[in-house]
Structure 1
Amino acid sequence: MNPLLQNTLILALIAGFACMEYVSRRYRDTVQATANDTRLEVLMFLSLIAISQPLALFGSNALCAWLMPAQRNVFADLPWWAMVAAFLVADDMTQYWWHRLSHTPLLWPLHRAHHSANYMSIRITYRNNFFYYLMMPGLWLGGVLLYLGMGQVYVTYLVVKIAVILGAHSAWRWDEPLYRVKALAPVMWVVERTISTPATHWAHHALTNRDGIGHYKGNFGNLLFFWDVLFGSAHITRQYPPAVGLQDDRLFGAEHWAHQMFYPLARSKREHSALRPGGRPYEDGQQEVQVEAHDLGGRMQSGAQ
């Protein structure tokens, strides 16, 4: 598959999922994005395809040419399945661990933007901090595999991965009707333990874990959900959380798009924020208590008027 066909298929995937979000009315009914959200999502998508991904791929190629010039295309004769396995480990498994580490206090500010949306849609797929992708090990290791001669499978691998990731974030929950078909139960049992689905990934974006559905401290897989099964972070319910997003944004208002995208170069001035020195995200219990108090205060104030 050549790059032109690859890009055509990726655009077709984006258009297809966007169409399904519209036709199913899921976008109209669930996506309430602000101008702040739109700026962040558009600029992050453009910066990824124009800066971060090319820099990682061409940068790793240049480093390989400098450090191991004799190894160029050394693995070009490997069978296709071996090349796919190499990408699954070097790109997808490392992205699983990068994602998992990004839910620790140290790296959370670089990933927080992805969870600050209070809706699910393909538009949030690449919503992250600029440095999140620039530092992602999988992008750089993918460039190494391309240097070693595995480019013939990379374009196909990338199209499949993007299809799964878009589907997992889509407002249109493609897996939902399939769970209702009893004959497909064995198939879906395998599918939901193999790739990321809306049900498992929506749980990762949940506002809370307290309902037994949300699991924002797990379900980290991108293409393969199998990594969550293998490394003990999987939570499968075949249900969807009633709300997604971040509790501190509900309490204190959304962070400015520039702070979310360019932290630590741009830092929040919000009193409670992970996007400033010394700031950190709330724990779930603390969040719930404060949100309930906040909502109760609002109801009391409304009743007094």
Structure 2
Amino acid sequence: MNLIQNIVLVTIILFFALLEIRSRKHEHFHATADDTRLELFMFLSLLAVSQPFIFGVTGKLCALAMPGQRDAWAHLPWWAMGAILLVADDMTQYWWHRISHTPLLWPLHRAHHTAHYMSIRITYRNNFFYYLMMPGLWASGVLIYLGFGNAYLVYIVIKLTVILGAHCAVPWDAPLYRVKWLHPLAWVLERTVSTPATHWAHHALTNEDGIGHYKGNFGNLLFVWDLIFGTAKITRRYPPKVGLHDDLAFGKERWFVEMFYPLIHSRRAHSALVPGGRAYAEADANTAQQAQAAGGKP
């Protein structure tokens, strides 16, 4: 199943990559060598290490703990399997994403926000341990043991298409907002799944422009979770800048620190990637800018 899933994943990625290349959006990324290394190695590690490891371990543990339950739920109808996966994988990922914006887990997720561009290439840009600890992957491994193998394959194709589209440098939802007769469709879609407009807002450099919402819009496949749990913001606009203030103030972290913290610590002047470090808030950036304007140091 992993082979088929990876082939489908690569096909979807190639589609969006060609879309970005044809639009020439990629020419404006100005990605550094560290950006490329982090994105490439995280993508490969997820496909070749983290996901196979999690599914392998859950399969063996389930075989030991409940040997008679292999494929026990394979008789369930497709809609029931889909509903269970949406809760066990997508809703838990919403909460995992949400708590990853708290001080405790932010170091494992900040790499996803250090890109100063939106593109499919940042979809899996995270810390190595972010995926190893993701509850939804472990729950999916159990469900696959219980007989969800084929259903998971269909589900993950749909989910990957949505999240890749939400990160894509070409905002596919823009025509829905420009064409008046498409507004009803836009209203439904933006409240159902993650779109570029809602997800780009989550990556915004600032909340002060009325578009950014980096403390919300946590949904991955379904945006419904943000509506249910009170973290949704819909503007139908796209933030002019994405990224993190601390990278602008102190320079970007090295790719291997972002990927392997806490095994490797940052040497930067201010960093969340050191023991006891904290995230650099927007208020800190404003204070630093005021100090610089007054001739002082941040």
Summarize the alignment of residues 135-284 of structure 1 with structure 2, pairs less than 5 Å apart: 135-284=133-282
CA displacement at 1:6 relative to structure 2:
3.9
What is the aligned counterpart of 1:48 among 24, 29, 46? 46
Any gaps of 5 or more consecutive residues in structure 1? 299-305
Question: Is contact 2:245-2:281 (8 Å) kept?
Answer: no
What residue in structure 1 maps to residue 7 of structure 2? 8
Q: 1:38 aligns with which of 30, 36, 61?
A: 36
1:45-194 superposed matches below 5 A: 45-194=43-192
Counterpart AA for 2:108: L
Amino acid across the alignment from 1:73: D
* Sequence identity (%): 65
What is the one-letter code of the residue matched to 2:16?
F
Letter matched to residue 186 of structure 1: P
- Which residue identity lines up with residue 75 of structure 2 in the other structure? D
Give the drift of 1:191: 0.1
1:204-245, CA deviations, whole angstroms, 9 ceiling, x for partnerless residues? Answer: 000011111000000000000111011000010000111000
Distance in 2 separating the partners of 1:109 and 1:121: 21
Asked whether the 8 Å contact 2:81–2:148 carries over to 1, the reply is yes
Residues 64, 144 of structure 1: 8 Å contact kept: yes
The secondary structure found in structure 1 opposite 2:207 is: coil
Flag the 1:127–1:83 CA change in 2: closer, same or farther, 3 A.
same
- In the superposition, the TM-score normalised over structure 2's length comes to 0.96
C-alpha distance in 1 between matches for 2:136 and 2:2 = 19
Distance in 1, matches of 2:74 and 2:245, equals 49
* Contact map agreement 1:6 1:156 (CA 8 A) in 2: no
Once residues 41 and 3 of structure 2 are traced to their aligned partners in structure 1, the CA distance between those partners, rounded to angstroms, is: 23
Q: Deviations over 1:165-222 (max 9, x none)?
A: 1000011111112211111111110100100000000000000111110000000000
Secondary structure in 1 matching 2:108: helix
- Aligned mates of 2:157, 2:113 — CA distance in 1: 24
- Could you say if the C-alpha distance between residues 3 and 46 of structure 1 is closer, same or farther in structure 2, counting changes exceeding 3 Å? closer
Match of 2:20 in 1: 21
Q: What residue identity is the alignment partner of 1:10?
A: L
How far residue 291 of structure 1 moved from its aligned partner, in angstroms, is 3.9
State the 1:293 CA deviation. 4.7
Q: How far 1:122 sits from its partner (Å)?
A: 0.5
By how many angstroms is 1:5 displaced? 4.9
Local SS of the residue matching 2:147: coil
Contact 2:63 2:70 in 1 (8 A): yes
Instruction: Please state how far the C-alpha of 1:278 moved relative to its aligned partner.
Output: 1.1
Deviation at 1:283, TM superposition (A): 2.2
- For these two proteins, the number of residue pairs brought into alignment is 296
